[in-house]
Amino acid sequence: MRSRFSAYATEQYQYIFDTYAKQSQIELSVEDIQNSGADSHWFALVIYTSSMLENEKEQFVEFSAFYIADNGLYEMREKSRFLLEDVSKAIKGQKQDNNKQWRYVDGDIIKHFLLEKVTRKQLCPCNNYPTAWPSSINKQKGKKYKQCCGK
C-alpha cells in the first residue's frame, strides 16, 4: 500500500499499473491512471487496519490518503482489496522459483470529501501530517502553501 501511495506522490504511473492485479489490468491503462491523478498532489497517507482472510491469499487495507487539487485539501478513505499473485516469469522454458506479490484488485471508498480550501499565503496543509511526502528535496516545515505544495 505504501509503495503504491509513493508512486502516486511521485507520479510513477507505470508502477501503479504494474501493481494492479492481472484481472484489474485488463480494464485500464497507464494513461487512464495518469489522467485520473493529473491535477492532484498526493502528500500524506494514514493506514488504519490491515486484515487477511483465512486463505492468506486475500488481504484488506483501510487507509486515508490526503491530496490537494484545485486549491482544496481532500481526504479519501478507502478499504482496498489485494490478492497474492504469482508473478514468476518463464525463462527459457523454466519457471522461476515461487515469486508472489500483493496486487491491488479494487477498493470501496468509505468517504471522500473536501476538508478545506487552501489559500496561497496560509501554512501548507502538509505541515499538519506526520506522514507527509516531501514536495521537493528542499522542503522545510513551516512553509506557506505557495512555497511548498502549491508550486
- The mean per-residue pLDDT over the stretch 84-111 comes to 78
Coil, strand or helix at 105: strand
Indicate the helix (H) or strand (E) that contains 7: helix 2-9
Is the pLDDT at 138 greater than 50? The verdict is no
pTM listed for this prediction: 0.83
Question: What does the radius of gyration of the chain's CA atoms come to, in whole angstroms?
Answer: 18
Indicate the helix (H) or strand (E) that contains 60: strand 58-69
Would you say residue 76 lies in a domain? yes
Instruction: Quick: pLDDT tens for 31-76.
Output: 999 998 788 989 899 999 888 776 778 899 999 999 999 999 999 9
User: In angstroms, rounded to a whole number, what is the distance separating the alpha carbons of residues 151 and 149?
Assistant: 6
Would you say residue 141 lies in a domain? no
Count of domains observed in the chain: 1
Would you say residue 137 lies in a domain? no
Coil, strand or helix at 22: helix
Query: Percentage of the chain with pLDDT > 90?
Result: 52
CATH number reported for the structural domain that contains residue 114 in this entry: 3.10.450.50
Domain that holds residue 60: 2-118
Instruction: Quick: pLDDT tens for 10-33.
Output: 899 999 999 999 999 999 999 999
Would you say residue 84 lies in a domain? yes
